[in-house]
């Protein structure tokens, strides 16, 4: 293996998995297999990551609230993160070790964390669509459904653009990535203003008010997280990973409530 090829270490894949689940792990394992020249395993890794995410997501939303309430919040991600760490070690551990012994290069921890955050955002986008449109509020004659949905569309557009920010983590230089995160920070601040506007609608259904409160917290957390990513990139350090992880756990709790 060429020493100038960059890989994701087991630790970095574990970080991404905790943030974004098996989808993130599948993507990073795919990148490692591609670097190793194994395109077949690369495709299989991503496919398994997608299928595993669907299975976990399906099981969670099918469980009764009475069961979910007694399960400690960090337990589920801790379990699948530990399992995936063992799988990575079995399938790629030897390659990663040889790469390290040969003085090979590794991607930064903040890049892995960014991939995990992107995977989480993809899940959030699916949840948000369900949360916004599953309820039928058209029967409430005094509620401006059309105007509300237009604002929701703006929020969704901003969220889609924010997701794009994370896609440059594995391909662009640090200064460019920092600039993209600064753009994403502005989008999340804009989304926070949109949610404030949504919550001021006349005759707003209680369900939407409660949802808006969660989305407001979500925007605040994303703003904090983006600021930490910008610091990590500027200082080229992993010392903010624990804070980013903590915020990601809080975001995960909000996502579960939005379900």
Comparison of pLDDT for 132 and 55, the residue scoring more: 55
Residues 45 and 2 both lie in one domain: yes
Asked which of 18-22, 91-95, 171-175, 244-248 is least confident by mean pLDDT, the reply is: 171-175
Rounded to whole angstroms, the Cα distance separating 180 from 162 reads 9
In the predicted structure, residue 73 carries a pLDDT above the cut 80: no
Rounded to whole angstroms, the Cα distance separating 240 from 257 reads 26
Residues 256 and 150 both lie in one domain: yes
Residues 83 and 200 both lie in one domain: no
Domain assignment present for residue 164? The answer is yes
In the predicted structure, residue 193 carries a pLDDT above the cut 90: yes
What pLDDT, on the 0 to 100 scale, is given for residue 220?
A: 94
What pLDDT, on the 0 to 100 scale, is given for residue 126?
A: 64
Domain assignment present for residue 117? The answer is no
Residues 127 and 101 both lie in one domain: no
Place of tokens 């069961």: 67
Calculate mean pLDDT across residues 34-50. Answer: 89
What pLDDT, on the 0 to 100 scale, is given for residue 139?
A: 45
Asked which of 53-62, 87-96, 105-114, 143-152 is least confident by mean pLDDT, the reply is: 53-62
Place of tokens 């579960």: 256
Q: Which of 53, 73, 107 is the last residue of a domain?
A: 107
The two tokens of residue 87 are 């799988």
The two tokens of residue 20 are 């974004």
Domain assignment present for residue 150? The answer is yes
pLDDT tens digits, 219-234: 999 899 889 989 988 8
Residues 100 and 127 both lie in one domain: no
In the predicted structure, residue 163 carries a pLDDT above the cut 90: no
Q: How many other C-beta atoms lie within 10 A of the C-beta of residue 119? A: 26
pLDDT tens digits, 134-151: 454 444 446 677 788 788
Residues 75 and 135 both lie in one domain: no
Q: Which of 82, 107, 132 is the last residue of a domain?
A: 107
In the predicted structure, residue 2 carries a pLDDT above the cut 60: no
Distance of CA 130 to the CA centre of its chain: 17
What pLDDT, on the 0 to 100 scale, is given for residue 258?
A: 73
What pLDDT, on the 0 to 100 scale, is given for residue 232?
A: 87
Residues 27 and 126 both lie in one domain: no
Query: How many domains are contained in the chain?
Result: 2
Q: Which of 50, 81, 107 is the last residue of a domain?
A: 107
Q: How far is CA 176 from CA 57, 169, 252, in A?
A: 33, 9, 28
Residues 72 and 15 both lie in one domain: yes
- Taking the C-alpha atoms of 100, 102, 105 and 108 in order, what is their torsion angle to the nearest 10 degrees? 10
Rounded to whole angstroms, the Cα distance separating 112 from 81 reads 14
Domain assignment present for residue 113? The answer is no
How confident is residue 196, by pLDDT bands cut at 50, 70 and 90? very high
Calculate mean pLDDT across residues 98-103. Answer: 87
In the predicted structure, residue 105 carries a pLDDT above the cut 60: yes
Domain assignment present for residue 71? The answer is yes
Domain assignment present for residue 112? The answer is no
Residues 225 and 151 both lie in one domain: yes
From the list 130, 155, 121, the residue with the least C-alpha distance to 20 is 121
> What pTM was computed for the model?
0.55
Residues 87 and 177 both lie in one domain: no
Residues 146 and 213 both lie in one domain: yes
What pLDDT, on the 0 to 100 scale, is given for residue 131?
A: 56
- By residue range, what is the domain housing residue 148? 122-259
What pLDDT, on the 0 to 100 scale, is given for residue 136?
A: 47
What pLDDT, on the 0 to 100 scale, is given for residue 129?
A: 59
Which 3-state string (H, E, C) describes the chain? CCCCCEECCHHHHHHHHHHHHHHHHHHHHHHHHHHHCCHHHHHHHHHHHHHHHHHHHHHHHHCCHHHHHHCCCCHHHHHHHHHHHHHHHHHHHHHHHHHHHCCCEECCHHHHHHHHHHHHHHHHHHHHHHHHHCCCCCCCCCCCHHHHHHHHHHHHHHHHHHHHHHCCCCCCCHHHHHHHHHHHHHHHHHHHHHHHHHCCCCCCCHHHHHHHHHHHHHHHHHHHHHHHHHHHHHHCCCCCHHHHHHHHHHHHHHHHHHC
Percent pLDDT > 70 in the chain is: 84
């Amino acid at each position: 293996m060429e020493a100038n090829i960059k890989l994701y270490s087991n630790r970095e894949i574990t970080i991404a998995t905790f943030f974004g689940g098996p989808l993130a792990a599948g993507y990073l394992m795919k990148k490692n297999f591609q670097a190793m020249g194994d395109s077949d395993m690369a495709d299989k890794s991503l496919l398994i990551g997608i299928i595993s995410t669907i299975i976990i997501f399906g099981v969670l939303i099918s469980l009764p609230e009475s069961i979910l309430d007694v399960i400690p919040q960090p337990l589920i991600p801790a379990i699948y993160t530990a399992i995936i760490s063992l799988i990575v070690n079995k399938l790629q551990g030897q390659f990663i070790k040889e790469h390290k012994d040969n003085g090979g290069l590794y991607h930064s921890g903040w890049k892995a964390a960014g991939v995990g955050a992107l995977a989480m955002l993809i899940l959030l986008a699916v949840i948000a669509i369900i949360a916004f449109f599953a309820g039928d509020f058209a029967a409430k004659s005094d509620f401006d459904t059309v105007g509300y949905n237009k604002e929701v569309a703006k929020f969704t557009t901003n969220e889609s653009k924010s997701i794009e920010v994370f896609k440059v983590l594995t391909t662009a230089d640090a200064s460019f990535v920092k600039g993209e995160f600064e753009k994403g920070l502005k989008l999340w601040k804009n989304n926070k203003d949109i949610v404030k506007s949504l919550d001021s609608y006349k005759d707003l259904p209680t369900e939407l008010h409660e949802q808006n409160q969660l989305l407001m917290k979500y925007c605040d957390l994303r703003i904090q997280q983006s600021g930490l990513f910008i610091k990590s990139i500027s200082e080229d350090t992993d010392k903010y990973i624990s804070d980013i992880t903590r915020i990601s756990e809080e975001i995960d709790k909000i996502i579960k409530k939005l379900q």
